[in-house]
Structure 1
Amino acid sequence: MSSAPARPSPAAAPARSASRAPSPFDRGHTDDLMAFLAAAPTPYHAVANAAERLEKAGFRKVEETDAWDGTTGGKYVIRGGAIIAWYVPEGAAPHTPFRIVGAHTDSPNLRVKPQPDFGREGWRQIAVEIYGGPLLNSWLDRDLGLAGRLTLRDGSQHLVNVDRPLLRVPQLAIHLDRQVNEGMKLERQRHMQPIWGLGEVREGDLIAFVAEEAGVDAEDVTGWDLMVHALEAPAYLGRDRELLAGPRMDNLISVHACVAALTAAAAQGAALPYIPVLAAFDHEENGSEADTGAHGPLLGNVLERSVYARGGGYEDKARALAGSVCLSSDVGHAVHPNYGERHDPTHHPRPNGGPILKVNVNQRYATDGSGRAVFAAACEKAGVPWQSFVSNNDMPCGTTIGPITAARHGITTVDIGVACLSMHSARELCGAEDPHHLANALVAFLEG
Structure 2
Amino acid sequence: MTTPSDLLTDKNDWPWLGYDEAKQAEIHAFGDGYQQWLQTARYPRERVTRVVSLLEDKGFKRVELGGEAALNVGDAFYYVNRNVCLAAGIVGSSSPKDTGMRVVGSHVDIPLLDLKLRPVHEEADCGLVMMKTHYYGGIKKYQWASIPLHLVGVVTQRDGTITEVDIGSDPSDPVFVIPDLLPHLWSEAQSKRTAAEVFKGEELRAIMGSTPGTKTDAKEGEKEGEKAKPEFKKHIMELLHSRYGITEGDLQFADLHFVAGLAPRRVGLDRGLIGAPGHDDGVCAYTSIDALLKVKAQGSAPSQTAVCILFDKEETGSDGPTGAKSQFVRFMLEDVMARSTFGVEGRGVYAAFDKTFVLSADVSAAVNPLFSSVHDAQNASVVGKGVSVSRFTGARGKAGTNSACIEAMCQFRQIAGDIPVQICELGKVDAGGGGTIAKFVANSLNCDVLDVGVPVLSMHSPFELVHVADVYNARELYLSFYRS
Q: Give the Å deviation of 1:359.
A: 3.2
- The residue type paired with residue 203 of structure 2 is H
Distance 1:363 1:16 in 2: 33
- Alignment of structure 1 residues 421-432 onto 2, 5 Å: 421-432=457-468
- The residue type paired with residue 326 of structure 1 is V
Higher mean alpha-carbon deviation, 111-120 vs 367-376, is at 367-376
Structure 2 equivalent of residue 4 of structure 1: none
Secondary structure of 2:187's counterpart equals coil
1:370/1:154 Cα in 2 relative to 1: closer, same or farther (>3 Å)? farther
Match of residue 370, structure 1, among 392, 407, 411: 407
- The residue type paired with residue 424 of structure 2 is F
* Structure 2 residue 422 is matched with structure 1 residue 387: yes
**Contact persistence 2:93–2:304 (CA under 8 A):** no
Please give the per-residue CA displacement for 1:61-92, whole angstroms capped at 9, x wherever unaligned. 12336444334411111123110111114565
Cα RMSD of the aligned pairs, angstroms, is 2.7
Match of residue 190, structure 1, among 202, 211, 224: 202
- Alignment of structure 1 residues 294-373 onto 2, 5 Å: 294-310=324-340, 311-360=343-392, 361-373=398-410
1:351/1:91 Cα in 2 relative to 1: closer, same or farther (>3 Å)? closer
Match of residue 117, structure 1, among 115, 120, 131: 120
Distance 1:324 1:59 in 2: 23
Secondary structure of 2:146's counterpart equals coil
Q: Give the Å deviation of 1:57.
A: 1.3
Structure 1 equivalent of residue 441 of structure 2: 405
Please give the per-residue CA displacement for 1:290-343, whole angstroms capped at 9, x wherever unaligned. 100000111111001112213332122112111110110111111110111110
Structure 1 equivalent of residue 316 of structure 2: 286
Identity of aligned residues (%): 25
- Alignment of structure 1 residues 235-314 onto 2, 5 Å: 235-310=265-340, 311-314=343-346
Higher mean alpha-carbon deviation, 161-170 vs 333-342, is at 161-170
Secondary structure of 1:255's counterpart equals helix
- Alignment of structure 1 residues 117-266 onto 2, 5 Å: 117-120=120-123, 121-153=126-158, 155=160, 157-163=162-168, 164-178=173-187, 184=195, 185-198=197-210, 199=212, 200-202=231-233, 213=243, 223-266=253-296
Secondary structure of 2:174's counterpart equals strand
Distance 2:41 2:140 in 1: 20
Taking structure 1 as the reference length, what is the TM-score of the superposition? 0.88
Distance 1:270 1:439 in 2: 19
1:314/1:213 Cα in 2 relative to 1: closer, same or farther (>3 Å)? farther
Higher mean alpha-carbon deviation, 352-361 vs 407-416, is at 352-361
Residue correspondences, number: 431
Structure 2 equivalent of residue 87 of structure 1: 90
What are the ranges of 5 or more consecutive residues in structure 2 without an aligned counterpart?
1-11, 213-230, 393-397
Please give the per-residue CA displacement for 1:152-194, whole angstroms capped at 9, x wherever unaligned. 4565544332124321011111111138567542343432111
**Contact persistence 1:90–1:269 (CA under 8 A):** no
Distance 1:357 1:427 in 2: 23
Distance 2:234 2:338 in 1: 51
- The residue type paired with residue 338 of structure 1 is L
* Structure 2 residue 106 is matched with structure 1 residue 103: yes
- The residue type paired with residue 137 of structure 1 is Y
- The residue type paired with residue 197 of structure 1 is G
Higher mean alpha-carbon deviation, 322-331 vs 352-361, is at 352-361
1:354/1:155 Cα in 2 relative to 1: closer, same or farther (>3 Å)? farther
Q: Give the Å deviation of 1:257.
A: 0.5
Distance 1:29 1:17 in 2: 17
Taking structure 2 as the reference length, what is the TM-score of the superposition? 0.82
Distance 2:315 2:274 in 1: 22
Distance 2:17 2:420 in 1: 17
Distance 2:86 2:353 in 1: 20
1:369/1:349 Cα in 2 relative to 1: closer, same or farther (>3 Å)? same
**Contact persistence 1:364–1:397 (CA under 8 A):** no
Higher mean alpha-carbon deviation, 299-308 vs 341-350, is at 341-350
Secondary structure of 1:346's counterpart equals helix
